[in-house]
Structure 1
Amino acid sequence: MQSIAISNVLLVEDDLVFQKNFVRVFEHMAGDWKIQAFQDGASALEALAKPNLKFNLALIDIGLPDISGIDVIAAVRQRFAELPILVTTAFTAEETFLSAIRAGANGYLLKGGTDAALGHSIELVLQGQYPVSPALARHLFRLAGAPNAMALSNKLNLSQRELELLQLIAKGCSYASCADVMNISLSTVQTHIRNMYRKLEVCNQRQAITKAQSAGLLNI
């Protein structure tokens, strides 16, 4: 009797609920899947340093508790030149998306989709395609059709962390909640806020959100 080849999955996701969701999705997919999961970037990078590793797919969250998932993507791509890497995240900022693609990601999915949609995206990336969540794709197409907004976006020169923070604030999160989500101190949040106001040339949250929306930086 011929044995079934095992497909190995590298999963870097700090949320245990989402980890279980991924396990459930693979249970309903054809083949024999073995998932090696990590809840932080440092553990994943430590594992990548070991010899004789073999993976068929990587699923990586960007909002990790210790380091950016972008750094993990870059490390995985350096180790495995041809490995399909699928980003699963809550971050919708254009710069975050572009940073993930530049680091080596092959697809970008926003969390909150159905198991069926996630399974379909996994199948697509394994076939060599580049799946992107429809909501994010619409946002990017709007940006592509607005050259003036894109020029303003580049001129503002907000950092990735500042964009992530601005996205959370635009969704109604308090400074304390932003600190928890981004795993940074409240004082660091306040420093980012001051830097954003300076770059955007605004004085309050409402003005910052309005200007960022006009630059196509927010997807809310």
Structure 2
Amino acid sequence: MVHMKIAIIEDDPLLSKNLKLLLENEPGFTVLATFPSADGILPKVKRLIPEIMLVDLGLPGISGIEFITQAKKEMPQIDIIAHTIFDDKETVFTAIKAGATGYILKGCRPQELIDAFNEVYHGGSPITPKIARKVILEFQNFEMNEKKNLSIVEEDILKDICHGMTSTEIADKLSVHSSEVKNQIKQIYKKVQAQTTTDKATKSINDLIILSSREKEILNWIKHGKSTWDISQILQTQLSH
């Protein structure tokens, strides 16, 4: 039986209340506390000892990313899910490198959030598809620290994430248990955390993932802001000729 101890940091009082109600409605979920900001709460968190924290990044005062950095330094055993509206690359990777175990965008379905907590609790790193795409593009632009290459399985998983597949679909395709896929995604997170800063980026995606020419073309369109609808129209035009 799952017995998950949770703390929430969210400055929107209505959202904070709804999140608490949602999580406490789940069997085995216990919300120990909710906080409207991260200012001065670390001593309280250390006394509560939650297993998982849901942290808004756009907090007043100390930012969510600053709090994640402090919390992971003093309480490395705690898993932290970033819960935010921010989907820009800089925020995503700063949060991951600060120590976020997962990155979930606000506005997701309630069940997605419940699934994210369960995934973290069982050793995974939940990541929404939109953010997953930013992870794979990060490997296009960054040189891995100490030249840590991706495993064959990680390469396959990144390719499938890029195409919008879920961890369950990837597990079915690779004929492995879903926990194995979740573990591989967690390893990818760790490698992102080990990367250098953007101005030192030099490594090509060709050194990390073997993609077809069409996949590279699609990745390039995504990188330049093309939507799924735009890309489908381009592909249909190319096929018609």
After TM superposition, the score normalised by the length of structure 2 is 0.55
Identity of aligned residues (%): 28
Q: CA deviation at 1:110?
A: 0.6
CA distance in 1 between counterparts of 2:226 and 2:68 reads 23
Q: Which aligned pairs between 1:139-218 and structure 2 lie closer than 5 A?
A: 139-145=134-140, 154-155=198-199, 216=223
Cα pair distance change 1:146/1:85, threshold 3 Å: closer
Q: CA deviation at 1:215?
A: 11
In the alignment, which residue of structure 1 is the partner of 2:20? 23
In the alignment, which residue of structure 1 is the partner of 2:32? 35
Q: CA deviation at 1:84?
A: 1.3
**For the Cα contact (< 8 Å) 2:6–2:31, is it kept in 1?**
yes
* 2:15 partner SS: helix
Q: CA deviation at 1:22?
A: 1.4
* 2:5 partner SS: strand
Q: CA deviation at 1:23?
A: 1.4
**For the Cα contact (< 8 Å) 2:32–2:48, is it kept in 1?**
no
Q: CA deviation at 1:35?
A: 3.0
CA distance in 2 between counterparts of 1:146 and 1:5 reads 39
Residues 109-148 of structure 1, C-alpha deviations (whole Å, 9 max, x = no match): 110001001000110011110011112212333454568x
Out of 109, 113, 123, the position equivalent to 1:114 is 109
CA distance in 1 between counterparts of 2:122 and 2:57 reads 23
RMSD: 3.4
Q: CA deviation at 1:75?
A: 1.7
**For the Cα contact (< 8 Å) 2:24–2:31, is it kept in 1?**
no
CA distance in 1 between counterparts of 2:198 and 2:22 reads 38
Amino acid at match of 1:137: A
Cα pair distance change 1:32/1:133, threshold 3 Å: closer
Residues 162-220 of structure 1, C-alpha deviations (whole Å, 9 max, x = no match): xxxxxxxxxxxxxxxxxxxxxxxxxxxxxxxxxxxxxxxxxxxxxxxxxxxx9959899
* 2:53 partner SS: strand
Amino acid at match of 2:31: K
**For the Cα contact (< 8 Å) 1:26–1:33, is it kept in 2?**
yes
CA distance in 2 between counterparts of 1:219 and 1:21 reads 34
After TM superposition, the score normalised by the length of structure 1 is 0.60
**For the Cα contact (< 8 Å) 1:88–1:109, is it kept in 2?**
yes
CA distance in 2 between counterparts of 1:218 and 1:39 reads 34
**For the Cα contact (< 8 Å) 1:13–1:38, is it kept in 2?**
yes
The 10-residue stretch of structure 1 (135-144 or 116-125) with the greater mean CA deviation from structure 2: 135-144
Out of 97, 106, 122, the position equivalent to 1:127 is 122
Amino acid at match of 2:7: L
Out of 47, 60, 72, the position equivalent to 2:55 is 60
Cα pair distance change 1:34/1:27, threshold 3 Å: closer
CA distance in 1 between counterparts of 2:226 and 2:9 reads 25
Q: Does residue 93 of structure 1 match 2:74? A: no
**For the Cα contact (< 8 Å) 2:9–2:56, is it kept in 1?**
yes
* 2:48 partner SS: coil
